[in-house]
Amino acid sequence: MRQFEYQRVSTTSDASQAAAHHGSAFIAGGTNLLDLMKLEIETPIKLVDITRLELQQIETLEDGGLRIGTLVTNSDLAAHPAVIANYPVLSRALLAGASGQLRNKATTGGNLLQRTRCYYFYQTDSACNKREPDSGCPAIEGENRALAILGTSDSCIAQHPSDMAVAMRLLDATIETQKANGDTRSITIKDFYRLPEDSPHKENVLEPGELITHVTLPAPLKGMHTYDKVRDRASYAFALVSCAAVIDKDETGKLTTVRLAFGGIGTEPWRDEAAEACLVGTMGDKDAINKAADTLLKDAKGSGQNDFKIVLTRRVLKQIIERACSTQGA
């Protein structure tokens, strides 16, 4: 690990100003950043410690939504009574995301920013456009079983790894930030991540020194909340395909609400409102499910080893819709 400057801050304005210079990084739980530093994938010259900031609270809003401080740990968020009662899909996604030890340290803001687990990204003697722009993407022709099939480009097929972010995308979370110049802004999670295109090293819209301070959830959604995760082992493994869902139906069994967000298949947490619309107003029949899956996967592109994800995604979608349709009061 290379030498770096360390600064502990006590206000959000101090934090954003301290990290505004090139080569600076925020640190809180450090569950991803420290690994990246040890492998010299990331080599910040300055770490800004934000653990003393008053951002560990979860507040209930007037409309019934939640405002979550960036330093709320994954464990505390998953166990919060309001999350369990009103956003169980988020709690389930968090509990599926990592070991208990990691959840005790990992923070809400940091989870949104965790980086891909593509083999070549972590292999520093290999080319990687995400790690070293314009060096190439050997994953496209190489080991790509775990990588993305949606949102990819000729420059990158790395998958987004977060389970929590998939649930946040489903719930239309808003990300609040503090800029180095003192300004604040709110960014919908739909607009927060960037597709790789020809600049895969630019993963989100944050500016230098811009600090995530809160994540806000709108009023809770009625219906069946579920998080299905297909992985190689039942404990502490990243998703091959995951799906966060909220589904509701009327007294006739017709689907009135369908929200679906996917992990493991996209270069960002993936949601396709057009696919959801194929199911709303239907009985969740075979034709409607197939139409939704066709819409979701119309631009899917396998790279060889990960071709199976296209079929697996269809099966996960089918399983969730059929379960919702067969459940009383879903």
pLDDT in tens, 122-139: 999 999 999 999 999 999
Contact 38, 73 (CB under 8 A): no
Tokens matching residue 51:
């653990």
| The predicted structure's pLDDT at residue 236 | 82
**Cα–Cα distance between 87 and 76 in angstroms, integer?**
14
**173/109 Cα distance (integer angstroms):** 12
Specify the 3-state DSSP secondary structure of 168.
helix
Residue 88 within a domain: no
Do residues 56 and 71 make contact, with C-beta atoms less than 8 angstroms apart? yes
pLDDT the model gives residue 98: 87
What is the domain range of residue 283?
Answer: 224-326
Give the model's pLDDT for residue 2.
85
Model confidence pLDDT, tens digit, residues 14-29: 999 999 999 999 999 9
Q: Retrieve residue 235's tokens.
A: 């404990």
pTM (2 d.p.): 0.97
- Give the CATH number for residue 269: 3.30.390.50
53: in domain: no
Asked if residue 112 belongs to a domain, the reply is no
The answer to whether position 320 is within a domain reads yes
Does residue 135 belong to any structural domain of this protein?
no
Instruction: Count how many domains the chain has.
Output: 1
Whole-number Å distance between alpha carbons of 177 and 70: 10
Asked if residue 247 belongs to a domain, the reply is yes
What pLDDT shows up at residue 244? 98
Determine, yes or no, domain membership for 274: yes
- The low-confidence residues of the chain, meaning pLDDT below 50, are none
Examine residue 132 and state whether it is found in any structural domain, yes or no. Answer: no
148: Cβ contacts below 8 Å, ≥ 6 apart: 157, 158, 159, 160, 265, 266, 267, 306
3-state SS, residue 290: helix
> Residue 243 forms beta bridges with which residues?
228, 262
The token pair at 65 is 């939504």
Say how far apart CA 25 and CA 233 lie, in whole Å: 33
Q: Which helix (H) or strand (E) holds 198?
A: none
Please name which of 83, 84, 91 lies closest in space to residue 66, comparing C-alpha atoms: 83
